[in-house]
Chains A and B, each alone.
Chain A
């Protein structure tokens, strides 16, 4: 445990000094600042106003860009250390592979989660200061979604990082994963299935296996508990489970998915040659 915390702490310190972390923090912090400057909290569209609207916009943008940020910055964690022979030296000391791997996972999780969470927390603090009403329910749901989203993509990134030998290959795969989950499942797979008259239940179930899709739906579920903006698809979801069950699923499923991928990543890391 002592060594795991040591690895996590050192990875955290190293990440905080890295250029990617500065850009990452500026992007999410800047996004919130931009929303305030643009007066989003003062405008009203389709019943959404104030901080609720700002948080909804923040989560909508974050759903798109957080996965790619997490993937491209994390996917080189193990493969990059392997490429540059850092792993060879660092693992010449009596550190177990599980301590090294899970220490890296823990350190990197804090690095990717804190800036996106802090940007949202800053919005709440600034909004309160400006006299806006704080939508605590939405804030807690989105904190859960950000946690789950960071976990899911971090797990996938560590799995890819352990699997491939070079960091360039890891980077290529991470772009593919992002595009696949962002658009390919919807456009290609589901369209093809609809053309072939596959059952709607099957198509929706496949769509909901995609963590990005489940985040999208969950993000609007507090504003629109009947999910009316989704049209007939809402019937399938709400027939299967209650709205609160869907919210729990949208946090628990991606978190477990991330842990599962990270676990498989560890198995690959421990089974393969280290350098």
Chain B
């Protein structure tokens, strides 16, 4: 599904990702780990097509994520580490998501309910005004409702209480079959029940890649 070859990303003289080659396949549930500055987020951003590679290539289902971003993003769900301060109301944000991605509104409501988030009373509230946990639950509900083949989560449980984390792991376990899931995390113990592959990064390189 994702084929990365000799991928390097430099910011000025700083090498953030150093000639990384790796493949991610359907059915992989990957924990991507490493210290701050190891290159995890850079790798994710290159996969998402946010960064132009300095050298090397990324292919998702044979497509270039920078040049063919619209086609690729139809099948990618992404939850960032920190919910962004979007000023749109939940109704407007849902409208943006549904119209741009063809996601069914009812599916977002359903997954939000599974995450113990009641969207209806908050529809006219700005996304920005919700609590950190509510925002994260909403983003997770959207990512699941999108029914993507590739799911990317950057520290998805950082703002969640233990109960909400359990809900998240339960839903992911149900959904991740025959899909590719990437979890950026600092704590393997949090995701060890839902991953089947662990990758450690350091100084822009992959140091270990093992099945678990």
Contact B69 A97 (CB under 8 A): yes
Q: Which residues of B contact A96 (CB under 8 A)?
A: 69-70
Task: Indicate if B85 sits at the interface (CB-CB under 8 A).
Answer: yes
Task: Indicate if B145 sits at the interface (CB-CB under 8 A).
Answer: no
A residues 90-105 in Cβ contact with B at 8 Å: 90-97
Known interface pairs A88-B80, A96-B69. Does A17 touch B87 (Cβ–Cβ under 8 Å)?
yes
Contact A10 B92 (CB under 8 A): yes
Task: Indicate if A85 sits at the interface (CB-CB under 8 A).
Answer: yes
Q: Which residues of B contact A239 (CB under 8 A)?
A: none
Q: Which residues of A contact B50 (CB under 8 A)?
A: 88, 91, 273-275
In the complex, what residue of chain B is closest to A6 when comparing beta carbons? B99
Q: Which residues of A contact B69 (CB under 8 A)?
A: 91, 94, 96-97
Contact B70 A95 (CB under 8 A): yes
B residues 17-57 in Cβ contact with A at 8 Å: 45, 48-52
Q: Which residues of A contact B88 (CB under 8 A)?
A: 10, 13-14
Name the one of A6, A92, A97, A272 contacting B76, with C-beta atoms under 8 angstroms. Answer: A92
Contact A273 B51 (CB under 8 A): yes
Task: Indicate if A179 sits at the interface (CB-CB under 8 A).
Answer: no
Contact B48 A92 (CB under 8 A): yes
Name the one of A2, A10, A13, A88 contacting B84, with C-beta atoms under 8 angstroms. Answer: A88
Known interface pairs A93-B97, A93-B101, A274-B50. Does A86 touch B80 (Cβ–Cβ under 8 Å)?
no
Task: Indicate if A89 sits at the interface (CB-CB under 8 A).
Answer: yes
Interface size classification for chain A: 20 to 34
Name the one of A18, A94, A275 contacting B45, with C-beta atoms under 8 angstroms. Answer: A275
Name the one of B72, B74, B86, B92 contacting A89, with C-beta atoms under 8 angstroms. Answer: B86
A residues 104-150 in Cβ contact with B at 8 Å: none
Known interface pairs A2-B99, A14-B88, A17-B87. Does A89 touch B73 (Cβ–Cβ under 8 Å)?
no
Q: Which residues of B contact A97 (CB under 8 A)?
A: 69
Contact B87 A93 (CB under 8 A): no
Name the one of B71, B73, B85, B92 contacting A92, with C-beta atoms under 8 angstroms. Answer: B73
Report the bound CA distance from A272 to B50 in whole Å.
Answer: 9
Report the bound CA distance from A173 to B77 in whole Å.
Answer: 36
Task: Indicate if B208 sits at the interface (CB-CB under 8 A).
Answer: no
Q: How far is the CB of B152 from chain A (nearest CB, A)?
A: 9
B138-158 vs A, Cβ < 8 Å mask (1 yes, 0 no): 010000000000000000000
B78-107 vs A, Cβ < 8 Å mask (1 yes, 0 no): 101011111110001001110111000000
In the complex, what residue of chain B is closest to A93 when comparing beta carbons? B100
Name the one of B77, B84, B92, B99 contacting A84, with C-beta atoms under 8 angstroms. Answer: B84
Name the one of A13, A85, A271 contacting B80, with C-beta atoms under 8 angstroms. Answer: A85
Report the bound CA distance from A13 to B93 in whole Å.
Answer: 12
Task: Indicate if A3 sits at the interface (CB-CB under 8 A).
Answer: yes
Q: Which residues of B contact A91 (CB under 8 A)?
A: 50, 69
Report the bound CA distance from A85 to B96 in whole Å.
Answer: 17
Contact A94 B74 (CB under 8 A): yes
Contact A86 B70 (CB under 8 A): no
Contact A93 B86 (CB under 8 A): no
Q: How far is the CB of A90 from chain B (nearest CB, A)?
A: 7
In the complex, what residue of chain B is closest to A275 when comparing beta carbons? B50
Contact A94 B100 (CB under 8 A): yes
Q: Which residues of B contact A85 (CB under 8 A)?
A: 80, 82, 84
Contact B86 A94 (CB under 8 A): no
User: What are 19 sample pairs from A and B whose C-beta atoms fall under 8 A apart?
Assistant: A3-B100, A6-B100, A10-B96, A13-B88, A14-B88, A18-B87, A86-B86, A89-B83, A90-B84, A90-B86, A93-B96, A93-B101, A94-B71, A95-B100, A96-B69, A271-B52, A273-B51, A273-B52, A275-B51
Instruction: Please give the residue numbers on chain B whose beta carbons come within 8 Å of chain A beta carbons, in ascending order.
Output: 45, 48-52, 69-74, 76-78, 80, 82-88, 92, 95-97, 99-101, 139
10 closest residue pairs by CB, A with B: A92-B78, A94-B73, A85-B84, A86-B84, A274-B50, A93-B100, A94-B70, A273-B51, A275-B50, A89-B84
Given A3-B99, A273-B52, output 19 extra A-B contacts at Cβ < 8 Å: A2-B99, A3-B100, A10-B92, A13-B88, A13-B92, A18-B87, A85-B84, A89-B80, A89-B83, A89-B86, A90-B86, A91-B50, A92-B48, A92-B73, A92-B77, A92-B80, A94-B70, A274-B51, A275-B50
